[in-house]
Structure 1
Amino acid sequence: MENLLFSLNVVSPIFLLMCVGAFLKKVKIFDDDFLVKANSFVFKILFPVLLFNNIYKSEIAEEVNVKLIIFAIGIVLVTIGILFIIVPKFEKDNKNRGVIIQGLYRSNFVLFGVTLCTNIFGESGLGVVTTIVAIIIPIYNFMAVIILDVYSNDKSNLKKTVISIMKNPLIIGSILGIIASALKIKLPEFMENTISDIAKVATPFALMLLGGDIEIRNIRNNLKYVTVVVIGKLLVIPALVSFVTVLFGFRGVELGAIFSMVAPSVAVTSYTMAQQYDCNYELAGQLVFVSTLVSPFSIFLFIYFFKTVGLF
C-alpha cells in the first residue's frame, strides 16, 4: 500500500493539472488564441528560465557522471537507429514514416522529466535530470529535423537548420545554465529570487495548457498507427531502456533520469514540426493527444514496479 500511495502521489499532480487545463478550456477561460500565445510564452520564456534555474542551482560535475551522459546519448541514438531500420519496413508512406519515428523516440522530457524526478526524489533529483535535459534536448531537436527532412519532399537547408536549432530557447537556457554552473557564477540574490519565482510557474502552467490543448479529430483514420506508437512509446521502449539501464548498473536518481527521458508522452512540438515539413501532422497531433492521456497511467505502473523491487 505504501508503494501504491507513493506512485499515486508522483503521478496525480501531473494528471490533475492537465484536467484543470481541460476544464478551463471547456468553460472557455482558455480559448484557442490564448493557448497559442501562452504556449509560445512557455516555450520561449518559462521553460528556458526553468532549465537555467535548475542547472544553475545544481553542481553538475558532482551530480552527473560522464558515464551517465554518454549512456543517455547512446540510448537516444541507438533507439533512433533501430527505428530507422524497422519503421520503413512496415510503413511505405514517407508522410507517416517521419512522424512515427519521431513519435516513438521523442518525449515531453522538459515538461514531464523534471516534474517526475522532483516528485520521486525531491530536490536531489533536479541536478541530474536537468543536466541530462540540457544535453538531450538539442539532440532530440536536431535528430527530429534530420528525420523529417529525410522523409519530406521539402528538403531544408542544413545551415539554416543548424542555426535554427542553436536559436532554440530551450537550448539557449540550458547552455547558459551549464556555463553559470560550471564557472560557479553567483548572481545577485534579487535576480536569483526572480528567476526562481518565474521557474516555479513553468511546469504547472505548461501542464494546464497541455490539458487545454487536448482534442482529437478523425482518429479512426489513423487508429492502427496510434495504437502501435502509443504502446511502443509508453510501454515497450521504457521497459527495454529501463532494463538496459539497470544492466549498466544505474539505480535511484540516475535510473529515474533515464526513465523520465523515455517514458513521457510524445513531445508536443512534434506536431508543429510535422506541419512545417508537410508530413502527416494530423497523425502527429493524435499521437500527442492519446499518449498524453495514457502516459500518467503507464508511468504510474512503472514507478510502482520500480518502487516495489527497490530500484527507486
Structure 2
Amino acid sequence: MEYLSMVFLQVVAPILIMLMIGAWLQWKFSFNLKALSNLITYCLMPAAVFINIYETEVNAGILGSITLYLLIFSACLMVVSWLLGKLLKLEKKQSAIFSNSIVLINSGNYGIPVSQMLFYANPLGTSIQIIIVIFQNIMTYTYGLYNLISTTKSGLDILKSLFRLPLVHALIIGALMNYWNIGIPISLRIPIDYLANAFISIALITLGAQLAQLNIKTIFNKLILFSTFGRLIIGPLLAFGLITLMGLDGVVAQSLFIASAFPTSRNSSTLALEYDVEPNLAAQIVLFSTVVSCLTVTVVIYLSNIWWG
C-alpha cells in the first residue's frame, strides 16, 4: 500500500489533475485542438528532446547494453502488437493506433518522475530513464509516425514527412552538440529552456481537452482492453525475460524493468490528433492505461526490489 500511495500521489494524480484542467478548459472555451497539437509537435516537443539529448551523460558500456535491450524489447512489442492486431481483425487505422499504444511508452512525463522518486540516491537510475526517453522519442517519430501516415501516404511521402519534422533536426543537433561538447549561448539557452519546460503542461492540457470530447461509454471496448493488457502486462513479462537472458542486474535491471510497465505514451495521442488517425481512440487508450498503470507500476516496483534491490 505504501508504494501504491507514493506512485499515485506523486505521479498519477498530478497527471490526472492536468488532464482534468484540460478537459474543463475545453468545455469552457472550445480550443482549436489542431492548433495546440501543431504547437506541441513543431515547437515544444523539439525543444524538450533537444535539451534531454544535449544534457545526457552515461557510461559507454552501460549505454551499449541499454541500447541493445531497448532494440530487442521494442522489436518484441512490435511482434506482440501485430499478433494481437491480427487476432482482433482490426482495420488499418485502428491497427496503427493499436500498435503504437503497445510499443510507445510514456517514459517522459510519467517515467522520469518515477525514476527520480525511486533512485534519488543513485543518479544512474534517472540517467537510464533519460536514455529511454530519447529512445522512445526516436521510436515515436520513426515507427510510430510510419504507422500513422502509412494509412494515407506512400513510402516516399513518409520519408519526406519524417525529415521535415523539427524534432528530427533537434535529435541530430542535440546529439552532435553533446558529443562535441558545444556550448549554447545564454540568449538561446533561456528560450529553449522555456519551451522545453512548457512541453509537459501544454501536452497534458491538450490531451485533457481531447478527452473532454469523448464518449466515455466506449472506453471499455475490447481494443482498449487488449491494448492495455499488451502495454501493462505483456510488456513487463517480456522485459523480465530479456533482462534475465542478458544477465543485467542492479539499478540497470531495476530501471529497465520498471520502465517496461509505464502506460501508453501521450505522444501517440498527439500524433494521432496531428495526422487525424483515430484521435479519440488514441486518447481513450492513453487515459485508460494511465489509470490502470497505478496498480501495475506499483507491483513492478515491488518485484524489482525483491529481484534486484
> How far apart are the structure 1 equivalents of 2:65 and 2:251?
14
> How far apart are the structure 1 equivalents of 2:236 and 2:70?
13
Choose which of 264, 285, 292 in structure 1 pairs with 2:262: 264
What is the match of residue 63 of structure 2?
A: 65
* Correspondence 1:237 to 2:246: no
Runs of 5+ consecutive residues of structure 1 not aligned to the other structure: none
What is the match of residue 288 of structure 2?
A: 290
**Maintained 8 Å contact 1:49/1:173:** yes
What is the match of residue 48 of structure 2?
A: 50
Indicate the percent of aligned positions where both proteins have the same amino acid: 19
- Rate the CA distance shift 1:120–1:278 in 2: closer, same or farther, 3 A: same
- Rate the CA distance shift 1:209–1:294 in 2: closer, same or farther, 3 A: farther
Choose which of 173, 176, 180 in structure 2 pairs with 1:179: 176
* Correspondence 1:17 to 2:11: no
**Maintained 8 Å contact 2:56/2:127:** yes
- Tell me the C-alpha RMSD between the 2 structures: 3.5
**Maintained 8 Å contact 2:48/2:199:** yes
> How far apart are the structure 2 equivalents of 1:125 and 1:9?
18
Q: Please give the TM-score of this superposition, normalised by the length of structure 1.
A: 0.78
Q: How many residues end up aligned between the 2 structures?
A: 305
**Maintained 8 Å contact 2:249/2:308:** yes
> How far apart are the structure 2 equivalents of 1:23 and 1:273?
21
Task: Using the TM superposition, name which of 266-275 and 138-147 deviates more.
Answer: 266-275
Q: CA deviation at 1:219?
A: 3.9
Q: Deviations over 1:223-248 (max 9, x none)?
A: 12222221221222223223422442
Amino acid at match of 2:288: V
What is the match of residue 308 of structure 2?
A: 311
Task: Using the TM superposition, name which of 233-242 and 174-183 deviates more.
Answer: 233-242
What is the match of residue 118 of structure 2?
A: 120
Choose which of 199, 202, 205 in structure 2 pairs with 1:202: 199
> How far apart are the structure 2 equivalents of 1:273 and 1:192?
27
Q: Please give the TM-score of this superposition, normalised by the length of structure 2.
A: 0.79
Secondary structure at 1:65 match in 2: helix
Task: Using the TM superposition, name which of 62-71 and 195-204 deviates more.
Answer: 195-204
Q: CA deviation at 1:72?
A: 0.5
- Rate the CA distance shift 1:115–1:164 in 2: closer, same or farther, 3 A: farther
Alignment of 1:127-138 (within 5 A): 127-138=127-138
> How far apart are the structure 2 equivalents of 1:18 and 1:285?
14
Q: CA deviation at 1:21?
A: 2.3
- Rate the CA distance shift 1:53–1:22 in 2: closer, same or farther, 3 A: closer
- Rate the CA distance shift 1:223–1:113 in 2: closer, same or farther, 3 A: same
**Maintained 8 Å contact 2:47/2:192:** yes
**Maintained 8 Å contact 1:114/1:130:** yes
